[in-house]
Amino acid sequence: MSLKLYFLRHGETTSSQTGTYCGRLDIELTPCGIEMAKDFAQTYEHIPWKAVYASPLKRAISTAKPLCDRLGIKMELRNGLKEIYYGDWEGKTPDQVNKEFHDDYVRWLADPGWNSPNGGEKGIDIARRSSEVLEEIENTHKTGNVLVVSHKATTRIMLCSLLGIDVGRYRDRIGMSVAALSIVEMAEHGPLVHIMGDRSHLRTELRQRYGT
């Protein structure tokens, strides 16, 4: 038996509804986001979980909580799983950022791996801190199922790092809607993708809110 990592993006927030850059703003899930977390817990409570790791931001904790409560699993909080820090862009829409920081925004869009939002983090910085958490998980749990609850950019960057995709292409290569699940097995010949961006655990009306 090998180690399987279940990467879950947190449920819906007001920021995911409006498209604003949320980053380190510590906002809660919407009522629909809470239902998304419950749907995940109901669907996956039968899995023999070894551990649950989560970002310490409220929206991630609230997404992991229903499963942890059902099974009595302690939630392991790690700063390395926090969302990208958008700096001066936090709370702004892409259109606002484009108007206020046009040149820097264009550079970031071209390569967010090596360019950061004004006062924020580069993709390579996120890859570095999140990889330390993944290394801890691999060292602690050689086999079994581990849930990792994080955020849109951070989850995509972790997947790029595991799959050998240029971190600077994380926005172009991997889609990640709210409450989406990806499963990667740490197999004999390296990371093996089983599921990418799946939302089938959500009831139909919740999936349809984001076009799936």
Residue 35 confidence (pLDDT): 97
H/E/C letters for each residue in 145-204?
EEEEEECHHHHHHHHHHHHCCCHHHHHHHCCCCCCCEEEEEEECCEEEEEEEEECCCCCH
Nearest to 70 by CA among 101, 105, 46: 46
pLDDT of the residue at 176 = 94
Q: Which whole-number Å values give the CA distances from 82 to 14, 22, 60, 170, in the listed order?
A: 18, 11, 9, 16
Mean pLDDT value of segment 32-37: 97
Average pLDDT, the chain: 96
Helix (H, G, I), strand (E, B) or coil at 55: coil
> Which tens digits make up the pLDDT trace of 63-81?
999 999 999 999 999 999 9
Q: 95, exposed or middle or buried, with CB in 10 Å at 0-12, 13-18, 19+?
A: exposed
pLDDT of residue 38: 98
- pLDDT for residue 209 is more than 80: no
Q: What is the pLDDT of residue 1?
A: 81
CATH superfamily of 3-208: Phosphoglycerate mutase-like (3.40.50.1240)
Q: Give the number of C-alpha atoms closer than 13 A to the C-alpha of residue 69, restricted to the C-beta side.
A: 11
- Report the pLDDT value the prediction gives residue 210, as an integer from 0 to 100: 65
pLDDT reading at 170 higher than 60: yes
Expressed in percent and rounded to 5, the helix, strand and coil fractions of the chain are 45, 20, 35
208 confidence band (pLDDT: 50, 70, 90): confident
